[in-house]
Structure 1
Amino acid sequence: MIMCGRFVFVDIGAIFSKFRITITEDIIKEITPRYNIAPSQYIPVIYQNKEQEYKMEMMKWGLVPFWAKNQKTASRMINARAETITTKPSFKHILKTKRCLVPASGFYEWKKIDNKKVPYYIELKNNNSFSFAGLYDIWKDSVGNELKTFTIITTDANNTIKPIHDRMPAILHKEVEGQWLNVKIQNPESIIQLLKPFPADNMKTYVVSNEVNNPRNDNAQLTREVN
């Protein structure tokens, strides 16, 4: 299973406390606690525009590059490896000016045990919300309608997650979130050095119900530990 294919976001207030974001009432209505976010769904994403203003918009999970002929690439681009984003055509250009934060409270990963895939929930030990490092792009169809999509960057797994999977989403330390969004910072080396495995000692994992396997299930029970 692809690394970081499901995640949770429930701390709505965290979005507004981090940055001074201008949003509309329509967007506020769309922001609700989510316990089983899956690819192709729309979720709130934070970015900085050319005027260096922080913005938040609902974007579709699964990147569609601006040059793509259609939207079919989205299912293949829910993640981007940190090691290759400076060279792959889909990512290297947007890395400079289209970086984003994907707010999260935790995420799921599956471990193969005796030919079965066992779901684990992964979160910070202090239960705080955090942000995945992401990239976004704007694709237009034949009549000019815009589609904003994003991908979540992954790194090597830390020692807490390695027993489950060899990759993990790139979680940014709060003190560097502003640097990640800053469109004035365009040097690839300066950008890449922000993408490191989050400290293992600050994270915890536990087994959860198989109900999370179905993306149509979306409730708080999914994040509860099971024996």
Structure 2
Amino acid sequence: MNYKLSNIASKTSLELLFGLPLRYPNIYRSNLVIDGLKEQSIPIISMEDPDYITEGIWGILPQDFKGDWEKFQKLKTTLHTNKNDIDNNILYNEALEKRRCLILVTGFYMYELVDNEVKTYLIEKENATPFALAGIYNILEDGFATCSVINTRINDLLSSEKNLYDHMPLEIPLLFKKMWLSEQTPLAAVQQIISKPYLTKFKIQRIAS
């Protein structure tokens, strides 16, 4: 989960579900496995451009950063963050207040250790319906957005003593889409969404590891 997401949504399904057009439809690509250890872009809706589905590079870099994504990720992997990191790290805390985004996916991966073997699971909605993860982003000197998924504690529906992780990406339901992206939303309300995540159902699919 820490390093892989999934997005098999078509252009049409993304646009219909979120009610927004793709700003760059010609470069949009679905991808069953988005490997965070490689420099890959993912669809996002940002506070800066809330009327379009745009693209962001997964793995946030500092605001106005000029350096190389891969070199920075070797120093600090920033694919995911959490409430504690955001509160205590300059890389994230300003972004939470000023640069929130929705990261659009159809699934994420989880891993369990069973009989000394790692089992891989793809966590999706029914019919692989797209959904939004809480994210923050920064803008590089060249104008590209880089983003990080906000994690929360794993919910009871997915929890297992065999899990290799005790956290999962934080989903933002469509009900809270405008609140998450609005500049008018008080920071306390944003922190409340992170602290008390909305519980929704997922489908767990075992796949070959």
TM-score, structure 2 normalization:
0.84
2:175 maps to amino acid: E
The CA distance in 1 between the partners of 2:13 and 2:192, in whole Å, is 25
Q: For the structure 1 residues 93 and 81, does the alpha-carbon distance in structure 2 shift closer, same or farther, using more than 3 Å as the test?
A: same
2:22–2:54: 8 Å Cα contact kept in structure 1? no
Q: Cα deviation per residue 1:78-119 (whole Å; 9 max; x = unaligned)? A: 001134323321111011121011111111111122332211
In the TM superposition, what is the alpha-carbon distance from 1:67 to its structure 2 partner?
5.9
Q: Which has the larger radius of gyration?
A: 1
5+ long unaligned stretches in structure 1: 211-227
In the TM superposition, what is the alpha-carbon distance from 1:161 to its structure 2 partner?
1.9
In the TM superposition, what is the alpha-carbon distance from 1:155 to its structure 2 partner?
0.1
The CA distance in 1 between the partners of 2:97 and 2:7, in whole Å, is 27
Q: Which residue in 2 is equivalent to 1:62?
A: 59
The CA distance in 2 between the partners of 1:147 and 1:125, in whole Å, is 33
1:190 maps to amino acid: A
Q: Cα deviation per residue 1:143-170 (whole Å; 9 max; x = unaligned)? A: xx33321000000000122213310000
Q: Does 1:99 align with 2:100?
A: yes
| Alpha-carbon RMSD | 2.2
1:63-102 counterparts in 2 under 5 A? 63-66=60-63, 68=65, 70=67, 71=69, 72-74=71-73, 76-102=77-103
2:134–2:172: 8 Å Cα contact kept in structure 1? yes
Q: Does 1:160 align with 2:157?
A: yes
Q: Which residue in 1 is equivalent to 2:41?
A: 42
In the TM superposition, what is the alpha-carbon distance from 1:11 to its structure 2 partner?
2.2
Deviates more, 1:98-107 or 1:58-67: 58-67
In the TM superposition, what is the alpha-carbon distance from 1:192 to its structure 2 partner?
1.3
1:114-193 counterparts in 2 under 5 A? 114-125=115-126, 127-140=128-141, 145-163=142-160, 164=163, 165-185=165-185, 187-193=186-192
2:8 maps to amino acid: V
In the TM superposition, what is the alpha-carbon distance from 1:206 to its structure 2 partner?
2.9
Q: Cα deviation per residue 1:14-44 (whole Å; 9 max; x = unaligned)? A: 4322233462xxx212212210011121122
TM-score, structure 1 normalization:
0.77
The CA distance in 2 between the partners of 1:14 and 1:136, in whole Å, is 24
The CA distance in 1 between the partners of 2:146 and 2:31, in whole Å, is 18
Q: Does 1:8 align with 2:32?
A: no
Give 3-state SS (helix, strand or coil) of 2:193's partner.
coil
1:104 maps to amino acid: V
In the TM superposition, what is the alpha-carbon distance from 1:127 to its structure 2 partner?
4.0
Q: Which residue in 2 is equivalent to 1:224?
A: none
2:6 maps to amino acid: V
Q: What is the total number of aligned residue pairs between the two structures?
A: 197
2:72 maps to amino acid: T
Q: Cα deviation per residue 1:168-226 (whole Å; 9 max; x = unaligned)? A: 000111100111111222x32110112244426x122131112xxxxxxxxxxxxxxxx
Give 3-state SS (helix, strand or coil) of 1:168's partner.
strand
1:28 maps to amino acid: P
Q: Does 1:205 align with 2:204?
A: yes
